[in-house]
């Protein structure tokens, strides 16, 4: 019997090695696999390359991983956040490397990795600083930049619901990078709030089919569910979760 | 003669009035977000958010915020009936693939040939951050810029050549400023809808790069 469900976040991350490239889902506070990131800090792997849309906020999530000194390099589109002081200090001290990638290119590079594409030409960034040193080409009169796939050793993804075959569904805009990252890593670990019986997810509506998922782990819902705490619209987002 | 600049809300209303029924539209972070507050109620307009939303609605009532439903600026939003969620790669395919009709973006500078500079001031030591700006700039069928005409120091933000780092080359079709609307055409920059009391000559003096009065285009 195939059962991708593991009993704990610690068990899910036990074999993450030093020097790994880790794809971490989430955009702002939505879709951040917070429990898996905490477990990665506890697990102790270091010299990591982290791929995330941002570079951490406050001192939680990716910022906590940075603060713990585990990150060698960040690949992201938007490292400048209101509370991004942990990254900022490390970056200015030359202690973390930054590869800045336009957001759509970041996503498409992971899609390419998951889809077996060798490289692709994108119009995004053509003629700009972010295309410096990259191969370019005119196709039908329009300028394009050659971009390469971005593979993960591990992907950490937050979904709403999963089953023992690894099929996943998400919730609202928390889906963001999850499905693409799930396809782009050798080992994809999904944290879910609910594990359901096989067949309970409507096959027409499964967003990430289990072939892209290695492990599923259930985490408890936070107190208050998805409600943003009163008076905490900004704090709630930039505080706990905005990785 | 004296003139009064448009307020941000007046400018947002002007842009919103120009968005046709049925348009798929992305409103950039910052000032362009205001356009959403002024969309004509009698038109169905689809707002796209880069983090995977089509049919994005206004901010929720206090207490109704949902941490899983936010816009590109990370603020809580709602979904209109008929709206859809999708993942990032699909969302950027919509942007890059030319499926969006209009993107309204802020800018530091726009050049006479439609080059856009809106992601970095190039300040030494600043942490670079680009987000989805470059994808939006190259992808939407029409890129409209919403910005103040002049910097705080009174310099024109419409320039012969951008001095700030570029976001995209030759991508801007139209600039809405607090003084006028400037269309970027193959004939040059065409100015229309000047604020009341502002003469074409005065706008030309403030702008620095050559402008054509609207109507001249037909004559040209």
Q: C-alpha B190: how far from its chain's center?
A: 17
In eight-state DSSP terms, residue B182 is: E
Selecting from B51, B131, B165 the residue whose C-beta is nearest the C-beta of A129 gives: B165
Residue of A nearest to B136 (CA): A124
* B30-56 tens-digit pLDDT: 999 999 999 999 999 999 999 999 999
Do B66 and A176 lie within an 8 Å CB cutoff? no
Mean pLDDT of chain B: 95
Find tokens 């030093």 and name the residue.
Answer: A18
Query: pLDDT digits over A178-215, tens only?
Result: 999 999 999 999 999 999 999 999 999 999 999 999 99
Which helix (H) or strand (E) segment holds residue B69: the answer is none
Chain B residue closest to A97 (CA)? B127
Closest chain A residue by Cα to residue B87: A176
pLDDT at A170 over 70: yes
Q: Which domains does chain A have, with CATH numbers?
A: 9-116+152-241 (3.40.1080.10)
Which stretches of A88-179 are assigned E, i.e. beta strand? 97-100, 120-122, 136-139, 142-147, 152-158, 161-162, 168-169
Give the nearest partner residue to A29 out of B74, B127, B139, using CB atoms.
B74
Please indicate whether, in this complex, the C-beta atoms of A124 and B134 are within 8 angstroms of each other.
yes
Calpha distance A141→B97 (Å, rounded): 16
State yes or no: pLDDT of A239 exceeds 80.
Answer: no
Helices A103-115, B88-96: crossing angle, 10 deg rounding: 120
Query: Cα B156 vs. chain centroid, distance in angstroms?
Result: 17
Catalytic residue among B10, B21, B44, B50: B50
B95 has a pLDDT exceeding 70: yes
CB A193 within 8 A of CB A168: no
Give the model confidence (pLDDT) of B57-82 as tens digits.
999 999 999 999 999 999 999 999 99
Residue A130 has pLDDT above 90, yes or no: yes
Task: Give the residue among B13, B94, B20, B80 at the shortest CA–CA distance from B51.
Answer: B94
Asked whether the beta carbons of A151 and A185 are under 8 A apart, the reply is yes
Position A151 scores a pLDDT of: 98
CATH architecture of B8-219: 3-Layer(aba) Sandwich (3.40)
The rounded distance, in Å, linking the Cα atoms of B25 and B134 is: 16
**How near does any CA of chain A get to the CA of B77, in Å?**
10
Write out the H or E segment, with its range, that includes residue B96.
helix B88-96
**CB within 8 Å: A130 and B134:** yes
Residues of chain B that touch chain A, judged by Cβ-Cβ distance less than 8 Å: 49-53, 63, 65-70, 74-76, 79, 85-89, 91-92, 95-96, 120, 125, 127-135, 138-139, 165-169
Tell me how far the alpha carbon of residue B146 is from its chain's centroid: 4
The domain segmentation of chain B, as residue ranges, is 8-219
Nearest to A237 among B74, B86, B132 (CB): B74
B148 in active site: no
Q: How far is CA B2 from CA A154, B63, B196, in A?
A: 63, 46, 9
Task: For residues B85-99, give the mean pLDDT.
Answer: 98
């Amino acid at each position: 019997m195939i059962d991708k469900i593991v009993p704990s976040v610690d068990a899910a991350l036990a074999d993450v090695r030093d020097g790994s490239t880790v794809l971490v889902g989430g955009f702002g506070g939505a879709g951040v696999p917070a429990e898996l990131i905490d477990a990665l800090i506890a697990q102790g792997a270091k010299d990591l390359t982290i791929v995330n849309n941002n570079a951490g906020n406050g001192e939680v999530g990716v910022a906590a991983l940075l603060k713990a000194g585990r990150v060698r390099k960040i690949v992201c589109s938007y490292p400048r956040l209101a509370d991004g002081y942990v990254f900022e200090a490390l970056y200015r001290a030359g202690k973390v490397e930054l590869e800045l990638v336009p957001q759509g290119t970041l996503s498409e590079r992971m899609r390419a990795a998951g889809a077996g594409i060798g490289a692709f030409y994108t119009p995004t960034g053509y003629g700009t600083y972010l295309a410096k040193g990259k191969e370019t080409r005119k196709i039908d009169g329009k300028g394009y930049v050659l971009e390469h796939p971005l593979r993960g050793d591990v992907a950490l993804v937050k979904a709403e619901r999963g089953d023992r075959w690894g099929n996943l569904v998400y919730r609202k805009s928390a889906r963001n990078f999850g499905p693409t990252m799930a396809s782009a890593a050798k080992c994809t670990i999904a944290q879910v709030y609910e594990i359901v019986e096989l067949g309970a997810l409507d096959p027409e509506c499964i967003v990430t089919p289990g072939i892209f998922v290695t492990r599923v782990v259930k985490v408890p819902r936070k107190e208050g569910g998805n409600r943003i705490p009163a008076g905490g619209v900004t704090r709630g987002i930039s505080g706990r979760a905005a990785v | 003669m004296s003139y009064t600049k448009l307020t941000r809300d007046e400018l947002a209303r002007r842009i919103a009035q120009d968005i046709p029924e049925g348009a798929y539209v992305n409103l950039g972070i910052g000032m362009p977000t205001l356009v959403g507050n002024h969309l004509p109620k009698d038109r169905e307009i689809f707002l796209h958010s880069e983090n995977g939303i089509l049919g994005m609605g206004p901010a929720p009532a206090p207490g109704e915020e949902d941490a899983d439903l936010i816009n590109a600026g990370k603020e809580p939003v709602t979904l209109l009936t008929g709206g859809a969620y999708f993942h990032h790669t699909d969302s950027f395919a919509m942007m890059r693939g030319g499926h969006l009709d209009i993107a309204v973006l802020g800018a530091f500078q726009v050049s006479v040939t439609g080059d856009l500079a809106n992601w970095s001031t190039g300040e030494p030591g600043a942490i670079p951050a680009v987000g989805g700006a470059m994808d939006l700039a190259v992808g939407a069928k029409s890129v409209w810029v919403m910005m103040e005409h002049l910097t705080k120091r009174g310099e024109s933000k419409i320039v012969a050549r951008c001095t700030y780092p570029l976001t995209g080359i030759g991508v801007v079709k139209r600039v809405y400023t607090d003084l006028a609307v400037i269309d970027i055409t193959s004939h040059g920059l065409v100015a229309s809808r000047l604020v009341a009391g502002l003469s074409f000559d005065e706008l030309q003096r403030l702008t620095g790069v050559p402008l054509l009065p609207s109507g001249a285009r037909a004559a040209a």
